[in-house]
Copies of this chain bind each other. A is one copy, B any other.
Amino acid sequence: MLRKENTLPMTCSHCNNVGFLQRNNSLDDKSRIVSSFKERQASKNLLVCENIEKDSRFGRAETDFSNLFARDLLPAKNGKNSQCSSYWRWLTFFYTMYEKHLIDPPKSYTFTILTNFLKVLKASTWSCLKTQSPWSKSWWIVGIPSSMESEQDILASSTSSQQDWISLAWLGNGSHQLLTLTCLYEIAPVFVLMEQITLRKMREIIGWTEKDGDGIFSPGGAISNMYSIMAARYKYFPEVKTKGMAAVPRLVLFTSEHSHYSIKKTGAALGFGSENVILIKSDERGKMIPADLEAKILEAKQKGYIPLYVNATAGTTVYGAFDPISEIADICEKYNLWLHVDAAWGGGLLMSRRHRHKLNGIERANSVTWNPHKMMGVLLQCSAILLREKGILQGCNQMCAGYLFQQDKQYDVSYDTGDKAIQCGRHVDIFKFWLIWKAKGTVGFEAQINKCLELGEYLYSKIYNRQGYEMVFNGEPEHTNICFWYIPPSLRGIPNSQERQEKLHRVAPKIKALMMESGTTMVGYQPHGDKVNFFRMVISNPAATKSDIDFLVEEIERLGQDL
């Protein structure tokens, strides 16, 4: 569901439902902190930057942000003591301090510091932010001064607010054009190291036990999937790099009919041809049917083609279905095929102990696409392609441009990532992800993902037996995709017919158009296969609440009742 921004404050009044956790706080801790926060709010001591007027340039922000939760930074309906404006004042202070340091920079900032940074990054945990003195210097590199006051180190003052942390990261980026190019370690050392460490952590979460692996952040899931096909091709037919696709037998790729269109698109772009991207049948829940995969592989082999690659989807776009990865992995092993898991949408569930079983078998994949910008709430774009085997990306893409990737630099040039990418410079997508991870911790991601899934269950259970609704597929959804038809009163009780289907096909577009015109909310729809237009509600915003779901249902019924 997309709510336009002027309706956002509506989510604010229900913020008790927001599932952010900070550090490793237990729920007890949390309620204690909330009480403490309320007390101090009552004394009006917490949210006012008291000294800011005394010295207009270097006033100190007395606010302790370390105990605030995401909702605390949302605009408040009551207006008074707005945490939002307090946050903005704090940011102002922050940049004023930054300016001060620009004018009188710390003398100790040299490249040498950077070479120690990796150790610090490695030492930091994924559960919370640490206040460590080496950070103080290191933070300069990313444009954020840490030493505002020792007792309120920026790193300890994690506000847990996804949006605000991101803005902060972007501000940092915005001030440092020089640091946004991540193809060379020397240009963006911190970001290169952050990428490396984060990718390793993600591989660990996938369950790969290899010491070394590989990966890179790319501009979106479609490009990540493109990398996976390039890697598979290079692994089995490295000669394509120099001689082209004409030099090898006809290679075929397999993906389910419910998979993302980027697999087929990439197949066309990379010179396989879209006809050589074979679509495997999915069951009524949208999950790939392994028997059909095996049959299609055998069929291709009989024709003399070479099966190369299978894409299994973890979280399909429309139904949110999870392909049976283990069974698909068995087939890939049997026929020696590259197994890619497109977990762009479902990868976030790996963070949840409750839901990660849906991706069982992913540890047998050769490559994985995982978009933190989806279920993990990182601002667009943040997509990773992860590979179990090291060296393939580099081998596949490197051109060794001497003017860029010199080998006689004063640092370990294996940190230069440019030659394994198809891009040259890249956006720093890692920084916002890293900040959010540090702010929320792994446990925070788990909580927000569980929360979204629960909201999906809430919607499902709300409309499952409600008059005027039909579900598109049977059973509880595996992801937050809730697919349903709204049947206006005029179509209820009418037996199914071509005419009724045609009328029903026009209902969702009409309701969506009315929503857009009234500007209240928005929900997507589409036809799929032989199914006429149905609504697809997808929940990935951790600030969404049950009341948002209720509102959506009310709106559908309000706008659709006379159709």
Where the two chains meet, the residues of A that have a C-beta atom closer than 8 Å to any C-beta of B are: 2-9, 48, 53, 56-57, 75-77, 79, 82, 84-85, 88-89, 91-92, 95-96, 99, 101-103, 105-106, 109-112, 140, 143, 163, 166-167, 170-171, 173-178, 180-181, 186-187, 219-223, 226, 230, 240-248, 250, 260-262, 264-266, 268-276, 317-318, 379-381, 397, 399, 401-404, 406, 408-410, 422-427, 506, 509, 512-513, 516-519, 522, 525-528, 533, 536
Contact = CB atoms under 8 A, between A and B. Distances in A.
Nearest to A164: B174
A241 B425 CA distance: 28
B111 A82 contact: no
Contact of A399 (B163, B219, B265): B265
A425 B380 contact: yes
Contacts of A268: 240-242, 397, 399
A222 B422 contact: yes
A226 B222 CA distance: 15
20 contacts: A5-B143, A82-B96, A109-B519, A110-B516, A167-B171, A170-B171, A177-B380, A180-B380, A222-B422, A223-B422, A240-B273, A242-B273, A244-B273, A246-B271, A261-B404, A265-B397, A265-B399, A409-B509, A410-B512, A410-B513
Contacts of A181: 380
A178 B5 contact: yes
Closest 9 pairs (CB-CB, A-B): A271-B271, A244-B273, A6-B105, A167-B174, A245-B271, A245-B245, A403-B526, A410-B513, A219-B219
Contacts of A56: 48, 85
A102 B5 contact: yes
Contact of A250 (B2, B103, B246, B404): B246
B84 A402 contact: no
A268 B445 CA distance: 39
B516 A111 contact: yes
A539 to B, nearest CB: 14
A240 B271 contact: yes
A261 B513 CA distance: 47
Contacts of A174: 163, 166-167, 170-171, 379
A548 B230 CA distance: 44
Contact of A410 (B48, B176, B271, B516): B516
A57 B82 contact: yes
Contacts of A53: 53
Contacts of A85: 56-57, 92, 95-96, 99
B110 A518 contact: yes
A517 B3 CA distance: 50
Given A171-B174, A408-B509, A410-B517, 20 more contacts: A2-B178, A5-B175, A9-B103, A75-B103, A85-B96, A85-B99, A167-B170, A170-B171, A173-B379, A219-B423, A219-B427, A221-B424, A241-B274, A247-B273, A262-B424, A265-B399, A317-B403, A381-B426, A406-B525, A410-B512
Nearest to A57: B85
Given A171-B167, A379-B177, A403 B102 contact: no
Contacts of A240: 268, 271, 273
Contacts of A170: 167, 170-171, 173-174
> For A9, A399, A427, which residue has the most chain B Cβ atoms within 10 angstroms?
A399
> For A85, A243, A401, A509, which residue has the most chain B Cβ atoms within 10 angstroms?
A85
Nearest to A162: B177
A112 to B, nearest CB: 6
Contacts of A99: 75, 82, 84-85
A422 B269 contact: yes
B422 A528 contact: no
A5 B53 CA distance: 28
A354 B317 CA distance: 51
Contacts of A517: 110-112, 410
Given A240-B271, A242-B273, A528-B403, A422 B226 contact: yes
Given A178-B2, A272-B244, A397-B265, A318 B111 contact: no
Contacts of A266: 422
A409 to B, nearest CB: 7
A406 B509 contact: yes
Contacts of A423: 219-220, 222-223
A224 B239 CA distance: 25
> For A48, A143, A223, A519, which residue has the most chain B Cβ atoms within 10 angstroms?
A519
A379 B265 CA distance: 29
